[in-house]
Chains A and B, each alone.
Chain A
Amino acid sequence: MSDEHDRQDGAASLEIEVEGLRKTFGRREVLKGLSFGVPRGGFLSIFGPNGAGKTTTLRVLATLLTSSGGSVKVAGHDVREDPMPVRKAIGFISHNAMLYPDLTAQENLRFYADMYGVEDREARITELLERLELSARRYDVVRTYSKGMRQRLAIARAVLHRPRVLLLDEPHSGLDPRAVDILDGLLTEIRDEHTFVMVTHNIAKGLEWGTDLMIIEGGRIAYEHAADVDHESFSAVYREHVHDGSVL
């Protein structure tokens, strides 16, 4: 089985394997055959112009979309054939918090904990709320939270079930500096045990965190490289492919 295989190969094995990924919406082909891999413990930063297919790719990895062709394996399971174990293994952070505004932080986290079958539910919730500095607002409804606080709670939601893979969809967008610090702090803490894929327009953050870089353009991989490039040269490549106004 795939898990045994992972243990044998150790860090060299791929946590995410994408082969010839295609996605069509009706007759509109958005992804035209992507192939890439992310090793265990790796961090892939994906850039690209709007509409290139970055978010679509992420959503396929997250099992929110079914591919139209090719194969996608996450944490050793095929996302089409076997989505359930994949869902247990991934956490998704996007600029939408995916939190219920009329429920308290505790109720939100309890709900997701139950959905994921987290066994030490209360302890885990308490631990995360402390780490994210939200303990004081535990019993307040999320409607009363600021954007930064919601984003922090969303992080708690995403890592509640201890996923091996984290998928991030422009996580830094719209955050105040304090929230950015807390997010970065948390990412640093869990960096080692996890595999990441981050879609971002923020070159600095993408370079800072990534071990690998990728630019998707027109549904294809336009550029891929290890993240050992310097900011200048990458910005040049970036500007070549991405023509909208992005954060440099």
Chain B
Amino acid sequence: MSGWSQFKAILRKDLIRELRTRDMLVSMILFVLLAMIIFHYAFTVKEGADLTYFTGGMLWVTFIFAMLLGLNRSFAQEKDEHCLDGLLLCPVDRVTIFFAKTAGNLVFLLIIQAVAVPVFALFFIERNFLGDLLPFLIVLALADLGICALGTLLATISMNTRSRDLLLPILLLPLIVPVLIAATGATTLIFAEGASFGSLVARLLLLLGFDAVFLVAAWGTYDFAIGE
């Protein structure tokens, strides 16, 4: 029994549960696709409106709001069935729980993005950006990590409060602004003009820095967030 095997056990449990019920995944995917359709109607008031430089923004706003739905769910059941007590009774480092939960949320986000990005490209992007796929995936991964890490920490707190679902967006959205700025900037550049690593480096470093700083911060404070 090691931290790693416990990490895998928690991750496996969450993945099995979600893949079996598919509650969260299906809702999140539907939400994301619907959001795109709504964006189209919201932004094409003028005939032939050019949305090229809005693409990054649209995409990330959608993902963040979808994650808000998903993050609450990932803890809701632990709380409702008192499974959280069961988990805390185990001889497991609280930080391991944090990493496992973050990893689980990351997997779900990646699954949704795998479905959403091609559809988004179909609806909104004219340029073939497959040449820039690698930078795009890196931006995706780094931004996702930041969102999931902070989101998991805050969901752990908000699930124990009176207005669970309403609190999480209020806590998370202001904190996630740097990620939003860097990710939308980088993504828009990639979609609209094509971007080499050089032009993205500053934003990538910001994302990397954000992830590093908040992973450490979450590591240090998670014990307090999850305990009683």
Query: Which residues of chain A have a CB within 8 Å of any CB of chain B?
Result: 59, 62-66, 83-85, 87-88, 90, 92, 94, 96-103, 107, 111-112, 114-117, 141, 157
Contacts and interface: CB of A to CB of B under 8 A. Distances in A.
Interface of B: 1, 5-6, 8-10, 12-13, 16-17, 20-21, 77, 81-83, 85-92, 227-228
A97 B88 CA distance: 14
A114 to B, nearest CB: 4
Contacts of A103: 13, 16-17, 20
Contacts, number: 80
Contact of A116 (B1, B16, B85): B1
22 contacts: A63-B88, A63-B89, A64-B88, A64-B89, A83-B91, A84-B91, A85-B91, A87-B89, A87-B90, A90-B89, A99-B81, A100-B81, A102-B17, A103-B20, A114-B6, A114-B8, A114-B9, A115-B1, A115-B6, A115-B10, A115-B87, A141-B20
Contacts of B9: 111, 114-115
A125 to B, nearest CB: 14
Contact of B90 (A59, A102, A107, A116): A116
Contacts of B16: 103, 107
A26 B91 CA distance: 27
B24 to A, nearest CB: 11
A96 B5 CA distance: 26
A123 B67 CA distance: 40
A157 B89 CA distance: 11
A98 B82 contact: yes
Contacts of B91: 83-85, 87-88, 115-117
A92 B91 CA distance: 13
A100 B89 contact: no
Contacts of A87: 89-91
Nearest to B87: A115
Given A87-B90, A103-B20, 18 more contacts: A62-B89, A64-B89, A85-B91, A88-B91, A92-B89, A97-B82, A98-B81, A98-B89, A100-B17, A100-B83, A102-B17, A103-B17, A107-B16, A114-B1, A115-B91, A115-B92, A117-B1, A157-B86
9 tightest A-B contacts by CB? A117-B1, A98-B86, A114-B9, A96-B82, A87-B91, A115-B90, A84-B91, A88-B91, A111-B13
Contacts of B88: 63-64
Nearest to A150: B81
A178 to B, nearest CB: 23
A112 B85 CA distance: 12
B21 A102 contact: yes
A96 B1 contact: no
Contacts of B8: 114
Nearest to A143: B21
A72 B39 CA distance: 59
Nearest to A115: B90
A98 B81 CA distance: 6
Contacts of A98: 81-83, 85-86, 89
A68 B228 CA distance: 12
Q: Specify which of B10, B12, B13, B91 lies most central, judged by the most chain A CB atoms within 10 Å of its CB.
A: B91
B59 to A, nearest CB: 31
A44 B81 CA distance: 27
A92 B207 CA distance: 43
Contact of A96 (B6, B85, B228): B85
Q: Specify which of B8, B81, B86, B227 lies most central, judged by the most chain A CB atoms within 10 Å of its CB.
A: B86
A166 B17 CA distance: 29
A65 B90 CA distance: 14
A62 B90 CA distance: 10
Contacts of B20: 102-103, 141
